[in-house]
Chains A and B, each alone.
Chain A
Amino acid sequence: MTDKPDEKAAGKAADESDDKTDANESARPSEERNLEAAKDETGTGSAVEQPAPEQSPENVPAPTGEVRAVGARHGMFGVSGTGDTSGYGGLVSATVFPAPSQKPYGGWFDEVAGALEARLEATDLTAAVESVVVHRGEITFHVRREDLPFVAQMLRDDEALRFEFCSGVSGVHYPDDTGRELHAVYHLTSMTHNRRIRLEVAAPDSDPHVPSLVSVYPTLDWHERETYDMFGLVFDGHPALTRVLMPDDWPGHPQRKDYPLGGIPVEYKGGSIPPPDQRRSYN
């Protein structure tokens, strides 16, 4: 977007300096000329010898600021140990999630974030909101897990916030997000102000506990049971945290990324279709 004018400006500046040299200072050695031209250009920041690099998507560097990189992707086809000599097998690309946003967030996001901040300051809990991510027109508050019930209660009851409706909780397992493997994501709606926000809390695999929000939003009863069922996230304070979809005696939590998947035996020379995560696939 902004790179094209830059390139043009750099090109134009180079043309100008060329014109100058042609007209007046053709006797001076070319090295000196270039040096001076470079000096002239310090204002715009792009050197004459090195035109701005081409800014196609694959050349754009990672966004600045704190980047939440979660794991890396290796190769292209999800297989290793084959005779692939294309070089694509050695490809490593980081998984980068949208970085936290800085104020102003834009629109009503600032009103909500401001009201939330003011209320948290009044109660000495400024650290409760770890970061705010605005991405694709949706705002996400990353909340420290021990403060979740307080923050939720305030979001529900405060007059400026009034997030009286909770759509439910959804678990996400990021096995490579060390120390924050299990995420619980809540979608809240303010019917009064017609707004939607998202709360996200993280818990480590070694201590998969998140405070329950059933006392604030009774609708989360089954949702928290489902998230426990599927991810093993324990919601402390839930009235009866049992499995809801899987059978009571089911071992493991099926939607975790490390849950073993089954293959399918086929009746042909003892063969079998490998589990989906071991099949050849693009990643």
Chain B
Amino acid sequence: MSTDQDMYAAPGETSQGRVFTVTGQDWDSITQSIGESADERVVVNMGPQHPSTHGVLRLILELEGETVTEARCGIGYLHTGIEKNMEYRSWVQGVTFCTRMDYLSPFYNEATYVLGVERLLDIEDDIPEKAQVMRVLLMELNRLSSHLVAIATGGMEIGALTVMTIGFRERELVLDLFELITGLRMNHAFIRPGGVAQDLPPGALDEIRDFIALMKKRLPEYAALCNANPIFKGRLEGVGHLDLAGCMALGLTGPVLRSTGYAWDLRKTQPYCGYEDYDFEVQTWDTADSYGRFRIRLNEMWESLKIVEQCADRLAGLEGAPVMVGDKKIAWPSQLAIGSDGMGNSLDHIRHIMGESMEALIHHFKLVTEGFRVPAGQAYVPIESPRGELGAHVVSDGGTRPFRAHFRDPSFTNLQATSVMSEGGMVADVIVAIASIDPVMGGVDR
């Protein structure tokens, strides 16, 4: 459809020039009418609803023929005010909010926030070993599922549908593990200030071991399918190039930074949650392009699998160990059990507070409704999420609620590289470049 008026232009916005609305199967009429005019310059508005823009990302591309001369991002379509909402909930409830930000890596959102709160509470050294191991286990499983989605959607966007189907097939297995351990597939709110919400359910370690064995068979399939595939390489190699200087200036971290050959990984450089005790390698590549980032993600999945294996071994020796800090003024009073329908009640706890101890009941209500107080101050404990440095700037004024919680989300920062990565290239490569950044709009817009 072609008009001289832009019906989507806001009042006061310029609406000059011809406006085309592409609805599908009408490309012929558009090329025809563009061909009639001498001007080759077209501004294309891509998204926010477009299957290959990774969620509600809007791209404004200025094209000359098929070459992108300018690329700009429009974000904010998924802004939900999570940071503001957290200011009106208790410190523990904050976990429930921030887990929903970057929905592909919920455990990382929880972990960075919780680590900040624990630093302010000054209980960093009191977190039980088992809680730390479980955090690492969940985070590394989460890295697997997140990288699987990155590879799957990245493949789908360039037409490799099989990569998509097998990627989501394996991710589902990880989500099954999450469901078994936390009761939920996504939005877990499982990592809590002081530890984790509950102990491993019976049989979880066996399931994890089965999963590791299966993944060791399945991961080589990705390599066999993609690594030397000429079409795959042709689409990815040399696309979305960004060197180390560019990464530093634009603040890019994660696989994009490591694809320049710089081995910066917070798990190694500034370990948290006991990462210094695990044996794994930081994966780098030296091509600084989309293909390198794909290979890094693939290799990182192997490393994550190694860490998960070590976690499983350590957890086998930690049966019955506490998963919550000993301080009863901070620790969540009950240990909920997972029933067949998800997270259920703790019958023992209910019997205790309702039938045995008035003080326990008072204590329960004080902690659950009022929450604990966190000493005034600010903390920032960044962690290495699948997309790069994820950090929560947590500010407390000494109350029972966060005074301010700001999340430095790697997707938000990395997406700034869209222009540098895609300007001067072909329009089809914009998709590949963005897929190699792997932005999650829930994290970008928060």
Point out residues on A near B: beta carbons under 8 Å.
70-71, 73, 93, 95-98, 135-138, 140, 164-168, 170-173, 185, 187, 191, 194, 196, 198, 217-223, 226, 230, 243-249, 254-255, 261, 276-277, 281-283
Contacts of A223 in B (CB 8 A): 412-413
- Interface window among B158-166, B187-195, B208-216, B247-255: B247-255
Nearest-Cβ distance from residue A233 to partner chain B, whole angstroms? 13
Nearest-Cβ distance from residue A154 to partner chain B, whole angstroms? 17
Known: A95-B397, A136-B122. A245 touches B251 (CB 8 A): no
A97 touches B376 (CB 8 A): yes
The answer for the CA separation of A142 and B404 in the assembled complex, in Å, is 18
Within 8 A of A (CB), among B383-417: 389, 391, 393, 395, 397-401, 403-404, 406, 408, 412-413, 415-416
- Closest residue on chain A to residue B270 by CB atoms: A194
Residue of B120, B269, B369 touching A194 (CB-CB under 8 A): B269
Residue of A95, A135, A245 touching B79 (CB-CB under 8 A): A245
Nearest-Cβ distance from residue A93 to partner chain B, whole angstroms? 8
A218 touches B79 (CB 8 A): no
A222 touches B400 (CB 8 A): no
19 A-B residue pairs with Cβ-Cβ distance under 8 Å, sorted by A, are A70-B397, A97-B376, A136-B120, A137-B119, A165-B251, A167-B389, A167-B408, A168-B251, A170-B406, A172-B378, A172-B404, A198-B378, A220-B251, A222-B415, A223-B413, A230-B83, A246-B76, A246-B79, A248-B10
Nearest-Cβ distance from residue A201 to partner chain B, whole angstroms? 14
Residue B81 CB within 8 A of the other chain: yes
Residue of A98, A198, A255 touching B376 (CB-CB under 8 A): A98
In this complex, the member of A135, A140, A217, A254 whose beta carbon has the largest number of chain B beta carbons within 10 angstroms is: A135
Residue B360 CB within 8 A of the other chain: no
Please give 7 more A-B residue pairs, beta carbons under 8 A apart, in addition to A167-B408, A245-B75. A135-B378, A164-B248, A170-B404, A219-B249, A219-B413, A219-B416, A255-B84
B399 touches A97 (CB 8 A): no
Nearest-Cβ distance from residue A168 to partner chain B, whole angstroms? 5
B391 touches A187 (CB 8 A): yes
Chain B residues bordering chain A, tally (CB within 8 A): 47
The answer for the CA separation of A42 and B336 in the assembled complex, in Å, is 57
Within 8 A of A (CB), among B115-148: 119-120, 122
Contacts of A219 in B (CB 8 A): 249-252, 413, 416
Known: A135-B377, A219-B416. A168 touches B269 (CB 8 A): no
Contacts of B446 in A (CB 8 A): 245
Chain A-chain B contacts (Cβ-Cβ < 8 Å), number: 118
The answer for the CA separation of A254 and B79 in the assembled complex, in Å, is 12
Contacts of B415 in A (CB 8 A): 222
Contacts of A283 in B (CB 8 A): 399-401
Contacts of A166 in B (CB 8 A): 251
The answer for the CA separation of A219 and B256 in the assembled complex, in Å, is 14
Residue B445 CB within 8 A of the other chain: yes
Residue B361 CB within 8 A of the other chain: no
The answer for the CA separation of A165 and B382 in the assembled complex, in Å, is 13
Within 8 A of A (CB), among B350-392: 369-371, 376-380, 382, 389, 391
Known: A194-B270, A246-B79, A248-B10. A98 touches B408 (CB 8 A): no
B369 touches A282 (CB 8 A): yes
A97 touches B377 (CB 8 A): yes
Contacts of A248 in B (CB 8 A): 10
Contacts of B379 in A (CB 8 A): 136, 138
In this complex, the member of B264, B370, B376 whose beta carbon has the largest number of chain A beta carbons within 10 angstroms is: B376
B75 touches A136 (CB 8 A): no
Residue B222 CB within 8 A of the other chain: no
- Closest residue on chain B to residue A168 by CB atoms: B408
Contacts of B119 in A (CB 8 A): 136-138
Within 8 A of A (CB), among B232-271: 248-252, 264, 269-270
Residue B88 CB within 8 A of the other chain: yes
Contacts of A73 in B (CB 8 A): 398-399
The answer for the CA separation of A140 and B379 in the assembled complex, in Å, is 10
A185 touches B413 (CB 8 A): no
Nearest-Cβ distance from residue B173 to partner chain A, whole angstroms? 34
In this complex, the member of A168, A170, A248 whose beta carbon has the largest number of chain B beta carbons within 10 angstroms is: A170
B377 touches A98 (CB 8 A): yes
| A-B CB proximity, top 8 nearest | A219-B251, A170-B406, A276-B88, A245-B76, A282-B370, A245-B79, A170-B393, A218-B249
In this complex, the member of A98, A185, A222, A247 whose beta carbon has the largest number of chain B beta carbons within 10 angstroms is: A222
Nearest-Cβ distance from residue B332 to partner chain A, whole angstroms? 17
Contacts of B377 in A (CB 8 A): 97-98, 135-136
The answer for the CA separation of A220 and B377 in the assembled complex, in Å, is 24
Within 8 A of A (CB), among B267-322: 269-270
The answer for the CA separation of A97 and B446 in the assembled complex, in Å, is 28
Residue of A97, A221, A255, A261 touching B416 (CB-CB under 8 A): A221
In this complex, the member of B88, B119, B401, B404 whose beta carbon has the largest number of chain A beta carbons within 10 angstroms is: B404
- Closest residue on chain A to residue B249 by CB atoms: A218
- Closest residue on chain B to residue A136 by CB atoms: B119
The answer for the CA separation of A191 and B266 in the assembled complex, in Å, is 10
- Closest residue on chain A to residue B88 by CB atoms: A276
B10 touches A187 (CB 8 A): no
Nearest-Cβ distance from residue B126 to partner chain A, whole angstroms? 14
The answer for the CA separation of A230 and B405 in the assembled complex, in Å, is 13
Known: A168-B251, A194-B270, A282-B371. A244 touches B88 (CB 8 A): no
Residue of A168, A185, A276, A281 touching B378 (CB-CB under 8 A): A185
The answer for the CA separation of A136 and B248 in the assembled complex, in Å, is 28
A222 touches B413 (CB 8 A): yes
In this complex, the member of B76, B371, B378 whose beta carbon has the largest number of chain A beta carbons within 10 angstroms is: B378
- Closest residue on chain A to residue B80 by CB atoms: A245
- Closest residue on chain B to residue A96 by CB atoms: B376
Nearest-Cβ distance from residue B401 to partner chain A, whole angstroms? 8
B408 touches A170 (CB 8 A): yes
The answer for the CA separation of A138 and B446 in the assembled complex, in Å, is 26
Contacts of A167 in B (CB 8 A): 251, 380, 382, 389, 391, 408
